[in-house]
Every structure is written in structure tokens, then in C-alpha cells.
Amino acid sequence: MSTSRRRCGALRAKRVFDRIWPRVALLATILLVWWAVYETGWIDPSKLPSPADVWNAFTSNITGSDGLLPAARGSIIRLAFGLSVAVVVGTLIGFAMVASVVVQRSVGTLMTALQALPSIAWLPLAIVWFGFTERAVMFVVFIGGVPAVAIATAISIRQVPPTLVRAARTMGAKGWTLQRTVVLQACVPGYWTGLQQAWAVAWRALLAAEIIRVGAARGLGHLLEASAQNTAMLIAVMGVVVVIGLAIDSFFSVMDRRIRSKRGLLVPA
């Protein structure tokens, strides 16, 4: 038993190592090239500070009223609220698109058009409607997330294999039971992919709105704009934005693997 546990532990460690080392190697390469360019003096240090300068800017501006931590907290709260509303509305629209041909041909076309239009393009109109308020920011986040969720919901439901539905009906499932236990369960992987796309669109729209200083509360976008004259701080803020984005995307990826694994949709490595 102990030998088996050791083997399982070794396999898990190897899998973790295989996933992590390419990322670590890439990061180390970027830092090495960055440091080399800085040391050669090819670029003005005021335009490209050293990695150490960026790290010092990061560590000295974590807390405080204008710190990275409060700004990140504000941006994440805005994202969570706006995206939550977008997910609810987008999911309902997606179900309606599947249930009605008329809705698909009308609202479905509108969702496709909205997805083709960058959500940040709504910002000037949002400012006209709501002024420089938090509602303008939430609107941009909302309008960016709704189309992705609605279209993903409709597509994932339509892509449920007909043979699966027929088999369930043969076994006596019908009505809401059929939808709940078969259709909705089968469309979860596609729906989750839609959520992953929606959060990325909403995150970019939020940062763009914050850069223009829409809304009273400070966020990472506000810090990006405020740090325009301090390159080290600017790069530090960009790094925080990237880390948050990677963390959220990793969460979606881990959940996606679990969802697909439970349904036997993962191809063995």
C-alpha cells in the first residue's frame, strides 16, 4: 500500500512539474532578456527600468489609499458584480434563443452584432447616459459579457447529441426531467467555455473604462493612467493585471478540466 501511495505521489508531482516548468522557464527567460537589455543601456532607463526597480515599485505601493491592493480589490468587485448580472441575463437570453425561432432570429442576431462590437465602444454612450459614475462602468462590463454568455448558452444546448436525448426518452425521461438531467448536464462544458470568454471580455472592458477614470472608486485601470509618468510603477500595475487575469483563467481552466473529466471528454495525455 505504501509503495502504491509513493508511486501515486510521484506521478502527481511529475504532472505538477510538467505543467509548471514551461511557465517558470518562460518567465526566467523574459526576466533575463529584460535585465540584459537594461544593463546594455540600449534603452533609456526612464523608459525601461530594471526588474529590480519594478519590484521595488511594487513592494512600496502595495497598500495605502492609492496602493495596488485596494485598486485590485476595487476592480475585482466591479468585475464580479457586473459579470454576475451579465451571466444571469445572458443565460436567460440563451435559453430563449433555443426555445423560440423568432427570438433566435431577432435577439440572436442582436447578440451576434453586440459580440462583434468591442464593448469599450459603448463607453462614450454609457458616459452620456450615466455620466462619470459607477453605473457607466457596470454597463460596459455588462454589455461586454451578455453576448458571449447568451451565444454560448444557445450553442451548447443545440450541440447536445440527439442520440443522447432519444436514449433518455426511451428510458422514460421527458419534460423538465429530460431537460434537467440530460440536456442541461450535457451542455455544461460548452456553457463553461462561454463564461470563460465572457469574463475575459468584461475584464478588458473594465480596465479600459477605469483608465478613462469613469467612476469615483479607484481601480487598476486608474493606476495605469496615473502611473504614466512612472514607468516602473506602470509596469508593476501591468504585472498585477496579468497575474489576476492568469489566476482567474487558471480557475476556469481547472474547473473546465474537472467538468470534462466527469463526462469522459478528456483525451488521456
Q: State how many domains the chain has.
A: 2
Within a domain: residue 6? yes
Per-residue 3-state assignment (H helix, E strand, C coil) for the chain: CHHHHHHHHHHHHHHHHHHHHHHHHHHHHHHHHHHHHHHHCCCCCCCCCCHHHHHHHHHCCCCCCCCHHHHHHHHHHHHHHHHHHHHHHHHHHHHHHHHCHHHHHHHHHHHHHHHHCCHHHHHHHHHHHHCCCHHHHHHHHHHHHHHHHHHHHHHHHHCCCHHHHHHHHHCCCCHHHHHHHHHHHHCHHHHHHHHHHHHHHHHHHHHHHHHCCCCCCCCHHHHHHHCCCCHHHHHHHHHHHHHHHHHHHHHHHHHHHHHHHHCCCCCCC
10 & 141 share domain: no
214 & 84 share domain: yes
User: Per mean pLDDT, which range of 19-23, 44-48, 56-60, 106-110 is the poorest?
Assistant: 19-23
Predicted confidence at residue 1, as pLDDT, reads 47
99 & 229 share domain: yes
28 & 137 share domain: no
Give the CATH number for residue 106. Answer: 1.10.3720.10
79 & 26 share domain: no
149 & 27 share domain: no
pLDDT band at 226 (very low <50, low <70, confident <90, very high): confident
pLDDT single digits (tens) 254-268: 888 888 777 666 655
Query: Per-residue pLDDT averaged across 30-42, rounded?
Result: 87
pLDDT single digits (tens) 146-176: 999 999 889 888 887 777 777 777 777 666 6
160 & 219 share domain: yes
Within a domain: residue 139? yes
Domain of 79 in residue numbering reads as 67-262
pLDDT over 90, % of the chain: 19
Within a domain: residue 49? no
pLDDT single digits (tens) 4-32: 666 766 667 777 667 777 888 888 898 89
